[in-house]
Amino acid sequence: MFNTMALSDLIARETQRFLDTHPKSAAHADALKAHWLFGAPFHWMNDWAAPVAIITEDGEGAMLTDIDDNTYDDFCLGDTPGMFGHGRPEIARAVAEQARRGATFMLPTEEAAGVGALLAERFGLPFWQTTLSASDANRALIRWARAVTQKSVIVVFDGCYHGMVEDCFVELRHGRTRPDAGLIGQVFDMTRTTRAGPFNDIGALEAALAQGDVAAILAEPAMTNCGMILPEPNFWKRAQALAKKAGALLILDETHTLSSGPGGATKAWGLAPDALVIGKAIAGGFPAAVWGVSAELAEKIAAVPRSGGRSGIGTTLAGNAMGIAAIGATLRELATPAAFEAMLTGADDLVAKLNSVIADRKLPWCVVHIGARAEIVFAPEPPKNAAAMRPALAQSELNHALHLYLMNRGILIAPFHMMMLVCPATTTQQIDRLVAAVDSFAEEYAREGAAKEA
């Protein structure tokens, strides 16, 4: 229904509109190009639909301001680290107080014991470690899983993303695991030690585990990096049983699905993983992540022989005192049941209103959501696995057009796909503005498309 010519016209027009309303950001782009490779401190910052990066000035709650004095309703929230809102004074205070007393010592602070207890109580696993990112946490767990099981293969689901974890950059094509074509500079063939299977397919999972060589299954409880794909009823119950039978560990990556509730999807759905990873929002946006293990796995990890006491797992700043303070402040003051209640109520409202627009405008789209996180999928029914999702994701012009249209109306959603996150500070007015912008996009371009076709 979205005429391609109408979309190209829209993109051209909206690109100009963006440049007209962001003169300072546009001018700043040249200064950035002078000394930053790719023209930004990190090249993903260029992955937005806008012709130049928005230069941010301030973030507060669910609002952002840029140097051109444009304001934004922020449903991207840094692609999740800001799940509890930007600029939270609780985090600023915790980090600043610790920074004054020393940022990092390669020693625990007095607060660490209490933070460990909070993690155990909240997420139901007794033993924890910290890293600087969820990527690092996944990488560490993969290594420990292989050491403990003395097996080499990791099973992941087609369409997965677990961060900059080389082992996970594979995809399933014509029933076979292939290296992900998007991975640059990789020389080792990951398909020797990583096996991909379709999500929601118990038979395929059983087959992937059948050779008895699998150290771990690494998965998100719901897939959130390939559009959004929810597990079918009983999928995890049966997958857990299969993992146990095969002697493979189940590692659940809750980095995004923490949006399900105070204890993530694991608590909300009563799952029983051997290990958990939680990154991004766990320290209120401060760079820290955690991984936790069951008592049984902790015992096995402790028993792994270490040559000269070394493990080759870790980074110097992992567990730094500021990160521990930020995790403590997040668990005590940000990720509270009341905050989640506000987030979940807001997300329900957003989803209901988006569904109304989709129905009223007869759009061939649907909305998938998990807790505070919702995703518009360009398909009439929620896809069950990555292969079914790919045609929706391939509508890159539509994706680009809608993102840019929203940015020009002061709304940010995650730049990579159609993910929207509701934080405790998100207001009904912000939700209504987002929904109205999606509605006017649909109305405007259906009309233009019809005119082009006439």
Contact between 166 and 141 under an 8 Å Cβ cutoff? The reply is no
116 is a contact residue toward ligand PLP (CB under 6 A): no
Strand-by-strand arrangement of the 366-370 sheet: 366-370, 373-377, 419-421
Q: Which position among 135, 259, 260, 320 is part of the footprint of ligand PLP (CB under 6 A)?
A: 135
x/- track of binding to ligand PLP for residues 251-270 (CB under 6 A): --x-xx--------------
167 is a contact residue toward ligand PLP (CB under 6 A): no
CB nearer to ligand PLP: pick between 228 and 435: 228
CB of 318 to ligand PLP, least distance (A): 13
Torsion of CA 440, 443, 447, 449, to 10 degrees: 90
CB nearer to ligand PLP: pick between 25 and 255: 255
| 17 contact partners, CB below 8 Å, separation of at least 6 | 408
Torsion of CA 36, 42, 43, 45, to 10 degrees: -110
**Cα dihedral sign for 273, 279, 284, 287?**
positive
CB of 408 to ligand PLP, least distance (A): 26
Start-to-end CA distance of the chain, whole Å, equals 13
For residues 73 and 63, give the distance between their C-alpha atoms in angstroms, rounded to a whole number: 5
73 is a contact residue toward ligand PLP (CB under 6 A): no
CB of 64 to ligand PLP, least distance (A): 19
Phi–psi pair at 9, nearest 5 degrees: -60, -45
CB of 289 to ligand PLP, least distance (A): 7
375 is a contact residue toward ligand PLP (CB under 6 A): no
371 is a contact residue toward ligand PLP (CB under 6 A): no
CB of 278 to ligand PLP, least distance (A): 9
131 is a contact residue toward ligand PLP (CB under 6 A): no
399 is a contact residue toward ligand PLP (CB under 6 A): no
List of E strands, 181-311: 194-197, 214-219, 249-253, 275-278, 289-293
227 is a contact residue toward ligand PLP (CB under 6 A): no
417 is a contact residue toward ligand PLP (CB under 6 A): no
Instruction: Give contact residues for ligand PLP (rule: CB under 6 A).
Output: 133-135, 161-163, 220, 225, 253, 255-256, 279-280
